[in-house]
A and B are shown apart, each in its own frame.
Chain A
Amino acid sequence: MLLSHVVHTAATEVCFPSPLSVLQGEGPRASCGAGAGQDVGRSCILVSIGGKNVMLDCGMHMGFSDDRRFPDFSYITRNGRLTDFLDCVIISHFHLDHCGALPYFSEMVGYDGPIYMTQPTQAICPILLEDYRKIAVDKKGEANFFTSQMIKDCMKKVVAVHLHQTVQVDDELEIKAYYAGHVLGAAMFQIKVGSESVVYTGDYNMTPDRHLGAAWIDKCRPNLLITESTYATTIRDSKRCRERDFLKKVHETVERGGKVLIPVFALGRAQELCILLETFWERMDLKAPIYFSTGLTEKANHYYKLFIPWTNQKIRKTFVQRNMFEFKHIKAFDRAFADSPGPMVVFATPGMLHAGQSLQIFRKWAGSERNMVIMPGYCVQGTVGHKILSGQRKLEMEGRQVLEVKMQVEYMSFSAHADAKGIMQLVGQAEPENVLLVHGEAKKMEFLKQKIEQEFRVSCYMPANGETVTLSTSPSIPVGISLGLLKREMAQGLLPDAKKPRLLHGTLIMKDSNFRLVSSEQALKELGLAEHQLRFTCRVHLHDTRKEQETALRVYSHLKSVLKDHCVQHLPDGSVTVESILIQAAAHSEDPSTKVLLVSWTYQDEELGSYLTSLLKKGLPQAS
């Protein structure tokens, strides 16, 4: 039986080489909607590592309002409860495409295990879920949706994790969060079982912005890095340029008396743009009003204030003097303001123009070419935002009404995803063995995949929904080595010929699942076994008429000259030793001109002993 098999049985589920399988649990249905698996719709990934199953994110698709909006959880386990199958669920950040299906998953499908997320995510997530629920159920009248109570019950299963804290999910599975930028509380997660590990980035941002810092991870060398690839091909121009561009457009529109609509999500980009406009208004002394659509605003800003340690360095340093999230120029929006004349800037939720206030205002303002809508983030296929961005100017609204869009439509990538450069940077930081791209569009991912494979010489995967990627890892086996043995070996490693590979010899004692490597002597002692000494003595006949002592002396000088690297000694009793091999010369009982050399060695010195006998057999060189 090989050791690997022993380990297999000892450590229960672990098999070596163990398959590490990753599958996107979105189900086959996704293909009929939003352009197959490589998609920015909903994130939901299932990772099996070292016998543990972890679900990463539990997002929903904003472009759908039927069954397709939630992941197909029957994909994870066809029969049996999710709680029994999943060891834990990890949510990377509060965006609905990463956590929107959570109450559906935990309360309606049924999952009672732990759900891990950072504290800001834990605080903000239920609010966004409730907000979304209201739009879906109260406004659109959707059935089969989760209730407020379900959101609350779901959040009770959440365990908060701190940055860099090592959370021991169970004896073998541990997770660790890293700062990801992107939005308040966004985190990347390292999932580790034994010596195998996976890093899941969620969404991240490698350049600090006006309110958040840059993502960072240490050189943790995971077996697999699962990274988002929303902007797989974009190398975004410098942030400053984009900001200047944005301000210029807003300014121009306001100057000519137009209205600017900026659809945003209540938390995240909105705060960054507010800071930007606030400082610009102050500097330029502009008078046009800026509004923020009601509801979340004040509350949202309050969260930012309380979670200052999660923002960028500048805000953290100055928050005592001036809290960046208290705005002077930005006021709460009232529905009636939309019809009032004159220029204004309105931030309205939600960000993809798929429902709610932003859509209402859009419909009101779309008809005038003086107005402008600025889409500061990515829009999912199927949303109004996506339609107008792709150039559609006639939109079919509910009730066969057609809305003609005359207002200017601008897209500005402010959404805080890493661009291609950033993704490469992160891969370089973490030094993974394999990379898996998710949360992006297939064509762009293909480009990035090639780039990663070229530059880092690691394999890169981009599975479609429902597809499984299996990686084989070859984890080494940790054992305890006795310090005595280790020190002995290390000391010898310091000798001059240390360059030569040296063999460490020891005995591995396996008792239950406890593996210890000790010196052979210690192993025998521990097991109460006595050493069995095996000794050989060979008689070598030499023709030599001289006395035994002289023969011995000749043997000594001969060996001394041949075996320069060995310790050859002539002992007072007339015998010769080479290392621990003993050579004695005796007279032959019958033939006085022949001497018998008795060469004696133990089994451990066999090579040298057998070499010596053959050497001596050749005879001694003639004495000079």
Chain B
Amino acid sequence: MMALPYITEHTGFTGTVYATEPTVQIGRLLMEELVNFIERVPKAQSASLWKNKDTQRLLPSPLKDAVEVSTWRRCYTMQEVNSALSKIQLVGYSQKIELFGAVQVTPLSSGYALGSSNWIIQSHYEKVSYVSGSSLLTTHPQPMDQASLKNSDVLILTGLTQIPTANPDGMVGEFCSNLALTVRNGGNVLVPCYPSGVIYDLLECLYQYIDSAGLSSIPFYFISPVANSSLEFSQIFAEWLCHNKQTKVYLPEPPFPHAELIQTNKLKHYPSIHGDFSNDFRQPCVVFTGHPSLRFGDVVHFMELWGKSSLNTVIFTEPDFSYLEALAPYQPLAMKCIYCPIDTRLNFIQVSKLLKEVQPLHVVCPEQYTQPPPAQSHRVDLMIDCQPPAMSYRRAEVLALPFRRRYEKIEIMPELADSLVPMEIKPGISLATVSAVLHTKDNKHVLQPPPRPAQPTGGKKRKRPSDDIPDCKVLKPLLSGSIPVEQFVQTLEKHGFSDIKVEDTAKGHIVLLQEAETLIQIEEDSTHIICDNDEVLRVRLRDLVLKFLQKF
């Protein structure tokens, strides 16, 4: 969602954006924080000539290795954020959203964050699931809705865990013990983090942990321009939370225990390090602040303040950035650095479990998931393994999905349905021929009964012969079946034809009506009536033949 303003504000996009309410509210907070951090350090000049490919080639690493530099953009402004968010239409989980009458889109809980969604895109006969950033672990959000993903023709799978080898539970334990160790030794702990997401779980763990670890006197600071909003918003989205937290609301109690931490003054939040914070600041303490890249935001101050003492610890929990690269400009550092990435998104074991459960006909995923990570090429377990093999895609690649649309829904009006006469062709299979007028509006098709033929105007003389020319578009049904000669002859006799002669031919029979100079060739799949120009006779014969055939 963080790139939304680039699409809605700069590409001429005029469509609607669908998202859940927590996604919009928390997404707004994340963007607001980002914009705030960036705008605190305005740049007088910006260099762009280095982006020229020939120049870039000559630059030192890491500039040399940066990819797609020409697509890099300036950060958006709050105005653009607001404009982008105003284009969003709020939706709820399991809400069926009709798009142009052609497809239906439904968000489902993905279990990763407050309001995070997987999406189903389906027509009446096809179903595509988009699974991105999902989690099967029990944290604060509503559990992932797996059942609704079943019977997908195609499942697009992306947003898997970035740290497939780390176990989030173990990491949380490590986080707590390192934190406690540092604080007990009189050091400070810095946790570079985003203002929403894993921080709620971390605070909850600490809530349970601090008393037993004897840390109840240590202040926790959460510094972010949106800290207060984030903590408040997390409490009001009860409907998007896991069952445990939902039931708290019925008591009524706030779903997250950080409310109690705030009440008891153990957790304090500030919009920035300026103002109130400088008065309240006590050490040793634990500080949660952004940005996790360590390139901007209040975290920079704390890195510089605490970096020189080995008593202090920085604990990385966000998996988005390599901690070594993040720390590089601060080296040499005396402070301890702990890497406890907590990424609750699906790992490869969970993916194969999920695919077994959901059983899509085809899986589509980014190319990197179809091979082991480059750094661990022997770990064949770190890739998606499914049958048939997953189709992979790359940046800017267009993929043709392997299914063909064969059917579409059409409604038969009740009046028309009443006029249809089905006949049973085979046991359990009935057929009815339908001649109807097709009406299509908003991609919805309706069959209506054909208009009544205009009453033939009796004795009135026709002015032009062309008035009488039949409309060849009136379709006659196809015929099927075969005609048993003997019965046919009997029928003919019954209807007053005499002098009937039957001749056998290579393929069938010829029935001769000598008196009428008429010849009827009967073969397995065809009948040919050859007669004089006697319409009455022809129609009589036709009707007799049709008796033996089925119409379609």
Within A489-516, the residues touching B (CB, 8 Å) are 489-490, 493, 501-512, 516
Nearest B residue to A540 by beta-carbon distance? B533
Knowing A478-B410, A493-B440, A524-B478, the reply to whether A510 touches B430 (Cβ < 8 A) is yes
Q: A222 to nearest B CB, angstroms?
A: 16
Q: Are A509 and B91 in contact (CB under 8 A)?
A: no
Q: Are B410 and A532 in contact (CB under 8 A)?
A: no
Q: Are B438 and A610 in contact (CB under 8 A)?
A: no
Q: B465 to nearest A CB, angstroms?
A: 6
Q: A152 to nearest B CB, angstroms?
A: 11
Q: Of the 9-residue stretches B166-174, B212-220, B228-236, which lies at the interface with chain A? A: B228-236
Q: Are A508 and B434 in contact (CB under 8 A)?
A: yes
Chain A CB within 8 A of B246 CB: yes
The residue in A309, A530, A537, A617 that gathers the most chain B C-beta atoms within 10 A of its C-beta is: A309
Q: Of the 9-residue stretches B359-367, B417-425, B492-500, which lies at the interface with chain A? A: B417-425
Other-chain contact of A503, B417, B437, B546 (Cβ < 8 Å): B437
Q: Are B96 and A166 in contact (CB under 8 A)?
A: yes
A524 to B538, CA, bound (A): 27
Chain A CB within 8 A of B39 CB: no
Chain A CB within 8 A of B409 CB: yes
Chain A residues near B233 (CB, 8 Å)? 320
Q: Are B481 and A306 in contact (CB under 8 A)?
A: no
Other-chain contact of B412, A126, A477, A482 (Cβ < 8 Å): A477
Q: A515 to nearest B CB, angstroms?
A: 8
Q: A32 to nearest B CB, angstroms?
A: 39
Chain B residues near A562 (CB, 8 Å)? 465-466, 469
Q: Are B252 and A617 in contact (CB under 8 A)?
A: no
Knowing A502-B437, A523-B552, A530-B480, the reply to whether A508 touches B445 (Cβ < 8 A) is no
Chain A CB within 8 A of B473 CB: yes
Chain A CB within 8 A of B474 CB: yes
Q: Are A502 and B438 in contact (CB under 8 A)?
A: yes
Chain B, residues 425-438, CB within 8 Å of chain A (1/0): the string is 11011111111111
Chain B residues near A532 (CB, 8 Å)? 479-483, 525-527, 549
Q: Are B412 and A163 in contact (CB under 8 A)?
A: no
Other-chain contact of B436, A307, A504, A565, A613 (Cβ < 8 Å): A504
Chain A CB within 8 A of B92 CB: yes
The residue in B92, B407, B473, B477 that gathers the most chain A C-beta atoms within 10 A of its C-beta is: B407
Chain B CB within 8 A of A286 CB: no
A309 to B92, CA, bound (A): 12
Chain A CB within 8 A of B49 CB: no
Knowing A524-B480, A535-B526, the reply to whether A119 touches B246 (Cβ < 8 A) is yes
Q: Are A507 and B532 in contact (CB under 8 A)?
A: no
- The secondary-structure label for the interface of chain B is mixed
Q: Are B549 and A535 in contact (CB under 8 A)?
A: no
Q: Of the 9-residue stretches B299-307, B316-324, B374-382, B446-454, which lies at the interface with chain A? A: B446-454
Chain B CB within 8 A of A604 CB: yes
Knowing A501-B451, A520-B552, A536-B538, the reply to whether A162 touches B93 (Cβ < 8 A) is yes
Chain A CB within 8 A of B531 CB: yes
Knowing A476-B413, A541-B533, the reply to whether A527 touches B465 (Cβ < 8 A) is no
Chain A residues near B471 (CB, 8 Å)? 607
A303 to B248, CA, bound (A): 11
Nearest B residue to A480 by beta-carbon distance? B407
Q: Are B252 and A483 in contact (CB under 8 A)?
A: no
Q: Of the 9-residue stretches A2-10, A57-65, A81-89, which lies at the interface with chain B? A: A2-10
Q: Are A610 and B450 in contact (CB under 8 A)?
A: no
Chain A residues near B534 (CB, 8 Å)? 538
Other-chain contact of B252, A123, A481, A516, A534 (Cβ < 8 Å): A123
Within B228-274, the residues touching A (CB, 8 Å) are 228-229, 232-233, 235-239, 246, 249-250, 252, 254-255
Knowing A165-B93, A493-B438, A502-B473, the reply to whether A507 touches B525 (Cβ < 8 A) is no
Within A525-550, the residues touching B (CB, 8 Å) are 527, 529-541
Chain A residues near B527 (CB, 8 Å)? 532-535
Chain B residues near A539 (CB, 8 Å)? 530-533
Knowing A166-B95, A477-B417, the reply to whether A614 touches B549 (Cβ < 8 A) is no
Q: Are B94 and A504 in contact (CB under 8 A)?
A: no
A299 to B251, CA, bound (A): 9
A7 to B422, CA, bound (A): 11
Chain A residues near B357 (CB, 8 Å)? none
Nearest B residue to A597 by beta-carbon distance? B533
The residue in B421, B425, B451, B476 that gathers the most chain A C-beta atoms within 10 A of its C-beta is: B476
Q: How many A-B residue pairs have CB under 8 A?
A: 292
Nearest B residue to A528 by beta-carbon distance? B426
A474 to B417, CA, bound (A): 11
Q: A497 to nearest B CB, angstroms?
A: 9
Chain B CB within 8 A of A521 CB: yes
- Measured as residues with beta carbon below 8 angstroms from the partner, the interface class of chain A is 35 or more
Other-chain contact of B408, A481, A493, A520, A531 (Cβ < 8 Å): A481
Chain A, residues 572-610, CB within 8 Å of chain B (1/0): the string is 000000010000000000000000000100011111101
Q: B158 to nearest A CB, angstroms?
A: 25
A521 to B440, CA, bound (A): 23
A17 to B418, CA, bound (A): 10
Chain A CB within 8 A of B42 CB: no
Q: Are A512 and B428 in contact (CB under 8 A)?
A: yes
Q: Are A504 and B437 in contact (CB under 8 A)?
A: yes
Chain A residues near B450 (CB, 8 Å)? 501, 503
Nearest A residue to B483 by beta-carbon distance? A532
Q: B213 to nearest A CB, angstroms?
A: 30
Chain B residues near A476 (CB, 8 Å)? 411-414, 417, 446
Knowing A3-B418, A477-B417, A486-B408, the reply to whether A603 touches B530 (Cβ < 8 A) is no
Other-chain contact of A537, B433, B434, B530, B550 (Cβ < 8 Å): B530
Chain A CB within 8 A of B21 CB: yes
Chain B CB within 8 A of A564 CB: yes
Knowing A477-B412, A617-B533, the reply to whether A320 touches B228 (Cβ < 8 A) is yes
Knowing A504-B437, A511-B428, the reply to whether A521 touches B236 (Cβ < 8 A) is no
Knowing A520-B477, A527-B429, the reply to whether A507 touches B434 (Cβ < 8 A) is yes
Chain A residues near B474 (CB, 8 Å)? 503, 607
Q: Are A507 and B417 in contact (CB under 8 A)?
A: no
A7 to B225, CA, bound (A): 62
Q: Are A606 and B95 in contact (CB under 8 A)?
A: no
Q: A580 to nearest B CB, angstroms?
A: 9
Chain A residues near B546 (CB, 8 Å)? 534
Other-chain contact of A306, B236, B419, B429 (Cβ < 8 Å): B236
- 11 more contacts with CB within 8 A, not counting A476-B413, A579-B472, A611-B468, are A2-B421, A3-B422, A122-B250, A162-B92, A306-B236, A306-B254, A480-B124, A481-B445, A503-B435, A505-B433, A520-B552
- Which residues of A line the B interface, CB within 8 A? 1-4, 6-7, 16-17, 119, 122-123, 126, 160, 162-167, 176, 195, 299, 302-303, 305-309, 319-320, 474-483, 486, 489-490, 493, 501-512, 516-517, 520-521, 523-524, 527, 529-541, 562-566, 579, 599, 603-608, 610-611, 613-617
The 5 A-B pairs with the shortest beta carbon distances in the complex, nearest first, are A607-B470, A480-B407, A3-B420, A476-B411, A533-B526
- Which residues of B line the A interface, CB within 8 A? 21, 91-96, 106, 124-125, 228-229, 232-233, 235-239, 246, 249-250, 252, 254-255, 405-415, 417-422, 425-426, 428-438, 440, 445-447, 450-451, 465-466, 468-483, 524-535, 538, 542, 545-546, 549-550, 552
